[in-house]
Amino acid sequence: MHTGFSGVVQDDFPRPRGWAPAERLDVLDVSSLPGVGPTMAKRLRAFGIETVRDLLFHAPRRYERAVDEVPISKLGLVEGEVAVEGRVVSARARTLRGRRTLVTAVVRDDSGGQVTASFFNQPWLAERLVPGTQLRLRGKLGRYGFDVKSYDLGEARRTADHAPVYPASEQIPSTRLRELVRAALAAHGRSLPDPLPAELELPLHRDALTALHFPADEGEAEEARRRLALDELVALQLAVGRLRTTDAVAPSLAGPGELAGRYRDVLPFTLTDHQERALMEIDLDLAQTTPMQRLLQGDVGSGKTVVALYALLRAVENGRQGALMAPTETLAEQHFLTLEPLCAQLGVRCVLLTGAVRSKVVREELRTGVAQIAVGTHALIQQDVQFADLAVAVVDEQHRFGVEQRRALAENRSPHVLHMTATPIPRTLALTIYGDLSVSEIAQPPANRKPIITSRVGAERTADAYTRLRVHLDAGRQAYVVCPLIEQSETRLARAAEEEAERLRRGELKSYRVGLLHGRLKTADRREVMRQFAAHELDVLVATTVIEVGVDVPNATIMIVQEADRFGLAQLHQLRGRVGRGSEQSYCLLVSRPAEELTETADLRLQALVDTTDGFELAEVDLDLRREGALLGTRQSGWSDLRFTRLRLDRDLIERARDLANELRDEDGPWQGEADRLLADDADHRGLA
Which x/- pattern over 617-656 shows residues binding ligand ADP (rule: CB under 6 A)? Answer: ----------------------------------------
Which x/- pattern over 303-332 shows residues binding ligand ADP (rule: CB under 6 A)? Answer: xxxx--------------------------
- Print the SS3 string covering 331-366: HHHHHHHHHHHHHHHHCCCEEEECCCCCCHHHHHHH
Confirm or reject binding of residue 16 to ligand ADP (CB under 6 A). no
Q: Is 21 left (phi over 0), alpha (psi -120 to 50) or beta?
A: beta
For ligand ADP, the closer of residues 98 and 268 by Cβ is: 268
Confirm or reject binding of residue 554 to ligand ADP (CB under 6 A). yes
Report the partner that residue 302 touches, choosing among ligand ADP, Mg ion, none (CB closer than 5 to 8 A by kind): ligand ADP
Q: How far is the CB of 331 from ligand ADP (least distance, A)?
A: 10
For Mg ion, the closer of residues 174 and 421 by Cβ is: 421
CB neighbour burial string for 500-531, b if at least 16 within 10 angstroms, e if fewer: bbeebbeebbeebebbbbbbbbeeeebbebbe
Segments in 249-327 forming alpha helices (H) = 258-266, 273-286, 304-316
Q: How far is the CB of 580 from ligand ADP (least distance, A)?
A: 9
Q: Look at residues 388, 383, 391 and name the one whose alpha carbon lies nearest to residue 408.
A: 383
Q: Look at residues 12, 214, 33, 35 and name the one whose alpha carbon lies nearest to residue 121.
A: 35
CA angle, 261 as apex, 258 and 265 as ends, to 5°? 135
Distant-in-sequence, close-in-space partners of 45: CB < 8 Å, separation ≥ 6: none
Pairwise CA distance, residues 122 & 499, whole Å? 44
Confirm or reject binding of residue 272 to ligand ADP (CB under 6 A). yes
Q: How far is the CB of 272 from ligand ADP (least distance, A)?
A: 5
**Run of H or E including 481:** strand 478-482
| Residues 378-437 contacting ligand ADP, CB under 6 A | 422
Report the partner that residue 544 touches, choosing among ligand ADP, Mg ion, none (CB closer than 5 to 8 A by kind): none
Confirm or reject binding of residue 333 to ligand ADP (CB under 6 A). no
Confirm or reject binding of residue 552 to ligand ADP (CB under 6 A). yes
Confirm or reject binding of residue 302 to ligand ADP (CB under 6 A). yes
* Residue from the set 8, 300, 346, 403 that interacts with ligand ADP by CB under 6 A: 300
Q: How far is the CB of 397 from Mg ion (least distance, A)?
A: 8
Q: Look at residues 245, 236, 185 and name the one whose alpha carbon lies nearest to residue 671.
A: 236
Roughly what angle, to the nearest 10 degrees, separates helices 218-243 and 427-434?
50
Report the partner that residue 298 touches, choosing among ligand ADP, Mg ion, none (CB closer than 5 to 8 A by kind): ligand ADP
| Residues 509-528 contacting Mg ion, CB under 5 A | none
Q: Look at residues 616, 637, 556, 598 and name the one whose alpha carbon lies nearest to residue 607.
A: 598
DSSP codes, 126-155: GGG--TT-EEEEEEEEETTEEEEEEEEETT
Which x/- pattern over 276-315 shows residues binding Mg ion (rule: CB under 5 A)? Answer: -----------------------------x----------
Q: How far is the CB of 320 from Mg ion (least distance, A)?
A: 24
The β-bridge relationship of strands 145-153 and 114-120 is parallel
* Residue from the set 7, 298, 424, 426 that interacts with ligand ADP by CB under 6 A: 298
Which of helix, strand or coil describes residue 407?
helix
Q: How far is the CB of 442 from ligand ADP (least distance, A)?
A: 7
For ligand ADP, the closer of residues 302 and 613 by Cβ is: 302
For ligand ADP, the closer of residues 287 and 342 by Cβ is: 342
Confirm or reject binding of residue 446 to ligand ADP (CB under 6 A). yes
C-alpha pair distances (Å), 616 with each of 242, 299, 587: 28, 8, 20
Q: Which residues bind ligand ADP (CB under 6 A)?
A: 269, 271-272, 275, 298, 300-306, 422, 446, 448, 552, 554, 581
Residues within the interface to Mg ion (CB under 5 A): 305
